Amino acid sequence: MVFGFRFSVFGGWRAALVSFFVLAGFAQAIAAEPEEKTHAQRPLVISPGEKAKVSLFGVEGEGYKFVFAFDRSGSMDSPGHNALPLVKAELIKCLETIDSVQQFQIIYYNERPKIFNPTGQPGRLVFGTEQNKTLAAKFINSVVADGGTAHDDAVMLAVKMNPDVIYLLTDGDEPKLGPRQLERIDRLGAGIIINTIQFAPGAKDDADNFLVKLAKQSGGKYAYVDITKTEKKKD
């Protein structure tokens, strides 16, 4: 009886020891397996092919991904300030230089942004295929000017799309972007070039407005377009 008891204890100890080593080996095997990377850790896939070189009212940009954020508030199509038709024609012309391996998105905004949405998934960049550019031209030509202006919402929406280059075109009407908004855009849009184009009648009256600052802090370019001179050239 005593011998049987000792054998049972000894056998149980051996079984426990074997189980320990089996489990330890299993844990080591799991630890040796490569950890699955999260979305944030995965390397970004860049569109193949060369970068596109685009130009909008003489302001050049280069990259794989572009977002065009254009003001469509009522002041963009007011008497003596008929900017919207000229802007539409220039944007359609600009899109022709984007190829099928590059991507783009269009935001027209007043108090709220209106996004080009050919895929049914708003906010996604689309490739510059002929079909998408044809649909983009229809979208652009459907836009009408009305309402007020909310620059901040449109710029932040463009930043969230993480393009290489953003083109912001506006008459610079109120409300202007303040220091806090500019700092936020600079922080969240690090690495994104923002080109700004101010489209207004007459001579420029503010040499250091928020559009100048926004372009400068992002490494982009600023341009002022006098619509009265542009309309004369068109005539």
In a domain, 106, yes or no: yes
- At residue 199, the 3 state secondary structure works out as strand
User: Could you give the CA distance from residue 11 to residue 8 in angstroms, rounded to a whole number?
Assistant: 5
Binning the chain into helix, strand and coil, the percentages to the nearest 5 are 40, 20, 35
Q: Which CATH number characterizes residue 130's domain?
A: 3.40.50.410
In a domain, 21, yes or no: no
67-84 pLDDT, tens digit per residue, is: 999 999 988 887 666 788
Token look-up 């996004």 returns: 115
Ranges 88-97, 157-166, 220-229: which has the least confidence: 220-229
In a domain, 210, yes or no: yes
- Answer whether residue 145 shows pLDDT above 70: yes
Between 100 and 40, the higher pLDDT residue: 100
Confidence of residue 100 (pLDDT cuts 50, 70, 90): very high
In a domain, 28, yes or no: no
- Answer whether residue 26 shows pLDDT above 90: no
Confidence of residue 125 (pLDDT cuts 50, 70, 90): very high
- At residue 228, the 3 state secondary structure works out as helix
Token look-up 């280069």 returns: 62
- Answer whether residue 32 shows pLDDT above 70: no
Determine the residue type at 147. G
Instruction: Say if residues 201 and 176 touch (Cβ distance below 8 Å).
Output: no
In a domain, 11, yes or no: no
In a domain, 30, yes or no: no
Confidence of residue 173 (pLDDT cuts 50, 70, 90): confident
Average pLDDT of the chain, as a whole number:
81
* CA 179 to chain CA centroid, nearest Å: 21
User: Total structural domains in the chain?
Assistant: 1
In a domain, 29, yes or no: no
- Answer whether residue 16 shows pLDDT above 70: no
Instruction: Say if residues 177 and 209 touch (Cβ distance below 8 Å).
Output: no
In a domain, 41, yes or no: no
Mean pLDDT of 6-19: 46
Confidence of residue 34 (pLDDT cuts 50, 70, 90): very low
Query: What range defines the domain where residue 162 resides?
Result: 52-234
**Residue 30: predicted pLDDT:** 36
Percent of the chain scoring above 70 in pLDDT: 75
Confidence of residue 230 (pLDDT cuts 50, 70, 90): low
